[in-house]
Chain A
Amino acid sequence: MTDFKELIKKQKYSVFIVILFLLFPLISPSDYITHVMVLIFLFAAMATAWNVIGGYGAQVSWCHATFFAIGAYTSFLLFLRFNISPIISIFAAMIMSFILAMIVGYPSFRLRGVYFSLATIAFAEIVKTLLLYFTDFTGGANGLMLPYKGASLMSLQFKTEIPYYYISFVVLALLIFVTWKFEKSKLGYFLKAIKEDEDAAESLGIKAYKVKLTAFALSAVMISIVGPIYAFNISYIDPIGIGHLDLSIKIGTIAIIGGVATLWGPLLGAIIIIPLSEITNALLGSTRGGASTAIYGLILILVIIFKPEGLISLFDKFKGRKKDKKLKVR
Chain B
Amino acid sequence: MLLGQTIINGLMIGGVYALIAVGLTIIFGVMKIVNFAQGEFLMVGMYVTWLLYKAIGGSPYLLIPPVIVIMFIFGLLLYKIVVKPVVGKGDTAYILLTVGLSIFLQNVVQLIWGANYFSIETTIKTEAIQMGDVSIQLPRLIAFIGAIILVGGLHLFLKKTDIGKAMRATAENSQVASLLGINPSRSFAIAFAIGVVMAGMAGVLLTPMFYVYPRVGQLFGLTAFVVVVLGGLGNITGALFGGLIIGLVEAFTASYVALDLAPVGTFVVFLLVLLLKPEGIFGGGVRKT
Chain A residues in the interface with B (C-beta under 8 A): 58, 60, 107-108, 110-111, 113-115, 117-119, 121-123, 125-126, 129-130, 132-133, 199, 245, 249, 252-253, 256-257, 260, 288-291, 293-294, 296-301, 303-305, 308-309
Contact = CB atoms under 8 A, between A and B. Distances in A.
Contacts of A297: 100-107
11 contacts: A58-B91, A60-B92, A107-B274, A130-B264, A132-B260, A133-B260, A133-B264, A245-B222, A293-B106, A304-B93, A305-B97
B85 interface: yes
Contact of B263 (A129, A245, A309): A129
A291 B111 contact: yes
A256 to B, nearest CB: 5
User: Interface centre among A249, A256, A290, by most B CB within 10 Å?
Assistant: A290
Contact of B103 (A108, A117, A294): A294
Given A253-B96, A291-B111, A304-B86, A122 B103 contact: no
Given A294-B103, A300-B99, 9 more contacts: A107-B275, A114-B91, A118-B225, A129-B264, A133-B258, A253-B99, A256-B95, A301-B82, A305-B97
Contact of A122 (B109, B115, B270): B270
Given A294-B104, A297-B103, A122 B267 contact: yes
Interface of B: 34, 36, 82, 85-86, 89-93, 95-97, 99-111, 114-115, 214, 222, 225-226, 229, 233, 258, 260-261, 263-264, 267-268, 270-271, 274-275, 278, 288-289
Nearest to B233: A114
Nearest to B278: A111
B275 A110 contact: yes
Judged by DSSP, the binding face of B is: helix
Contacts of A199: 288-289
Contacts of B97: 300-301, 304-305
A300 B86 CA distance: 13
A114 B34 CA distance: 8
A115 B100 contact: no
A21 B242 CA distance: 52
A274 to B, nearest CB: 16
Given A245-B222, A301-B97, A301-B101, A115 B274 contact: yes
A260 B92 contact: yes
Contacts, number: 141
B89 to A, nearest CB: 4
B289 A289 contact: no
A294 B289 CA distance: 45
Contacts of B111: 288-291, 294
Given A114-B233, A294-B104, A107 B271 contact: yes
A245 B224 CA distance: 14
A109 to B, nearest CB: 11
B102 A304 contact: no
Contact of A133 (B34, B222, B261, B289): B261
Given A107-B275, A293-B107, A300-B96, A305 B260 contact: no
A249 B100 CA distance: 10
Nearest to B223: A125
Contact of B34 (A117, A122, A294): A117
Contacts of A60: 91-92, 95
Nearest to A135: B260
Contacts of A126: 263-264, 267-268, 271
A291 B112 CA distance: 10
A72 B187 CA distance: 47
B263 A119 contact: no
Contacts of A257: 96
A295 to B, nearest CB: 8
B40 to A, nearest CB: 10
B222 A294 contact: no
Given A111-B274, A125-B267, A298 B100 contact: yes
A130 B85 CA distance: 41
A113 B229 CA distance: 12
B102 A289 contact: no
Given A122-B270, A199-B288, A297-B107, A308 B99 contact: no
List the 3 closest pairs (A to B, CB-CB), nearest first. A300-B100, A297-B103, A297-B104
